[in-house]
Amino acid sequence: MNREIAKKWFKQAQHDLEMAEKNMGIEGYDIASFLAHQAVEKLLKAILRWKATKFLLLITLTTWQKN
């Protein structure tokens, strides 16, 4: 489940970067900057989702070992 969600975030990040590049071509620098920022946020979300299972397992194990 997390990997499918991660792939969707990654695809959207790629799309945002493509749109940012198109805006650069028409000198829409403000929009290009905004889209590039959005792409980075979505890429980070994709990475976190991709790794979420490992993070959750680590947190669970750490919590369990303390008790």
Q: Is 67 helix (H, G, I), strand (E, B) or coil?
A: coil
pTM for this model (two decimals): 0.72
Q: Where are the domains of the chain?
A: 2-66
Q: Look at residue 57 in the predicted model and tell me its pLDDT.
A: 62
Q: Look at residue 6 in the predicted model and tell me its pLDDT.
A: 86
Count CB atoms within 10 A of the CB of residue 6.
19
Q: What share of the chain is helix, strand, coil (3-state, %, to 5)?
A: 95, 0, 5
- What value does the mean pLDDT of the chain take? 85
Q: Look at residue 49 in the predicted model and tell me its pLDDT.
A: 84
* b/e map 56-67, b = 16+ CB within 10 Å: eeeeeeeeeeee
In tens, the pLDDT along 20-46 reads 999 999 999 999 999 999 999 999 889
